[in-house]
Amino acid sequence: MLNKATVLIVDDSPTNLQVLAACVKDKHRVKVATSGEQCLKIAQTSPQPDLILLDVEMPGMNGYEVCKYLKSSSQTADIPIIFVTGLQGDKDEEKGLALGAVDYITKPIRPAIVIARVKTHITLKLQRDKLNKMAFYDQLTGLYNRHFLIDMASKKVARALRHRYDLWVLMIDIDHFKSINDTHGHPMGDEILKEVAQTLALDNRSEDLAARFGGEEFVVMFDPCNETDAIMKAERILNKIRQLKPHNINVTVSIGMAKLVEQDVTFERLLKRADQALYDAKENGRDRLELAQ
């Protein structure tokens, strides 16, 4: 059941809800809503549906209005919508597709058609999700990858400069990682990378960003975050990683930390200062935090 996709069925008719649910319940998890407003609430709640079967003619918000709202929000824009409606004119179908729906099923409901269309669009949605995960996430650690980091970090820097709030970057490097690989083997090295990554992910707020930058290097961004809290968070990362000791192997990290200033017109410039602070941390004995000038 956990591996099944979720289909949200939206219709103000109990009979139509039952018929549509009977079409998809054997292959998918089913959620139902009897109004446009209820649909929006469910669509914005985690875990989100993988597909929405949406009636057009409903009291209150009609299906077209619901679709327009869902597609205008970044939180729900990627959920595929299939209209299910008694309206059979070409212009009605064109309107639904123009609003962003992926398909249009006309009533009376024909189970074979519903099953086939749902299967097609669920498959496409899951394939797209898999491609997105490959594009944005590091396959070994599950953290964001370098490509996604640079894209998101550039936006964070621009936003912080525009609204004048504090933003911090940590450049983190696992100490003596080559020696760990040489002594214990690369599979153990991979396990250590994953445990360090998990520590970084669990220590973050939802607005923080943690990514694998490459090799044994990681980047963490805090925003908005004042200096006292940022330093406490960085020191907590140091301590938590010291305490990991996977398979009784001592693991430590060095951290270079930089605060965004007006001269940092790009993320690359901010990251360069954090990287210099990381170099200082290694020169000064490792297993420590250094602040950039």
Task: Give, in degrees to the nearest 5, the angle at Cα 118 between 128 and 106.
Answer: 130
End-to-end CA gap in the chain: 53
265 near 285, Cβ under 8 Å? no
Cis peptide before 224 (omega within 30 of 0): yes
* SS3 at position 216: coil
Provide the residue type at 276 as one letter: Q
Active site residue 37: no
Neighbours of 279 (CB within 10 A): 15
Residue among 57, 65, 207, 216 flagged as catalytic: 216
Q: How far lies 185's CA from each of 131, 158, 180, 192, in Å?
A: 31, 42, 7, 11
State the catalytic residues.
216
